Amino acid sequence: MAENLRAQDNQEQIDRLIREIEEAELFAQRLRTYIVAIRDDVAGGHTGRALSICNQALTEIDSATDVVAPSPQRNEHAGLDVEDEPHRGNAD
């Protein structure tokens, strides 16, 4: 019985990780699309449009904090404590 619960818990964790990986891959794909569009606009001399696309990309990055920097709630689900997270230096 305990093994069944452990196997079910493991499967739930695997399923959650798969969903997170798929979300991260989609996020990375969207960012690559932005980069290509920005590069094309800069090459075409459309710097204003390129800056606008940069702002759109930055807005999406900022609103996707769970992908960029895991939220405490996700860490809790993953069984992580603050001490378990890798140290991130200040970018300033």
| Model confidence pLDDT, tens digit, residues 23-64 | 889 999 999 999 999 999 999 999 999 999 999 999 988 887
Output the CA–CA distances (angstroms, integers) from residue 63 to 33, 39, 44, 45, 67, in the order listed.
17, 23, 29, 29, 9
53 neighbors 31 (Cβ within 8 angstroms): no
Task: Tell me what pLDDT residue 92 has.
Answer: 38
pTM, entire model:
0.60
49 neighbors 38 (Cβ within 8 angstroms): no
Give the HSE-up count for residue 63: Cα atoms under 13 Å, Cβ half-sphere: 6
Checking if the pLDDT of 72 tops 50, the result is yes
Domain range annotation of the chain: 2-78
Checking if the pLDDT of 86 tops 70, the result is no
